Amino acid sequence: MSTTSTVNIVERDLQQLIKQARRLPTDDLEPCKDWTRQEMVRAQKLYEKINRMVIQSTPVISSDLFNEARECCNQLDLWIKRLEQNLTSANHSTYHTLVDLGKANQSR
């Protein structure tokens, strides 16, 4: 396999991970602890994959893609911190499972 095609594959894979990360619902926090934990796991996995890929391929990826990946990791880090705060916050009603949240919505 040529170096050019390897670079293209790495860049394509990195762009796909960045797209996945941008689709995370980073605006709205749910009061459900299960949802929050699931989102933390998803965000952390994406963060680790993107970060690992950037570190391994820094010499071959474009500086624009490097900057985009770094910005994405910064946003993921902020999202993870918001989720952690949401998980530990006692300022609002929290539900431990999606079933609890559904029951609460039915009673309203």
At 50-72, the pLDDT tens digits run 999 999 887 889 999 999 999 99
Range(s) of the domain holding residue 99: 3-106
Considering only CA atoms, which of 7, 4, 108 is closest in space to residue 57? 7
- Are 53 and 10 contacting, i.e. CB atoms less than 8 angstroms apart? yes
User: ∠ CA(8), CA(3), CA(9), 5° rounding?
Assistant: 20
Q: Write down the mean pLDDT value for the chain.
A: 84
**CA torsion angle 99 22 79 67 (round to 10):** 160
Q: Is the pLDDT of residue 15 over 80?
A: yes
Is residue 54 a contact partner of residue 70, using CB atoms and an 8 Å limit?
Answer: yes
Pairwise pLDDT comparison (98 vs 87), residue with the higher score: 87
Q: How many domains does the chain have?
A: 1
Q: Quick check: 108 pLDDT over 70?
A: no
- What would the mean pLDDT of 5-21 be, rounded to a whole number? 91
**Both tokens assigned to 14:** 């990195």
Task: Enumerate residues 6+ apart whose C-beta is below 8 A from 20.
Answer: 46
- Predicted confidence at residue 8, as pLDDT, reads 86
Global pTM reads 0.77
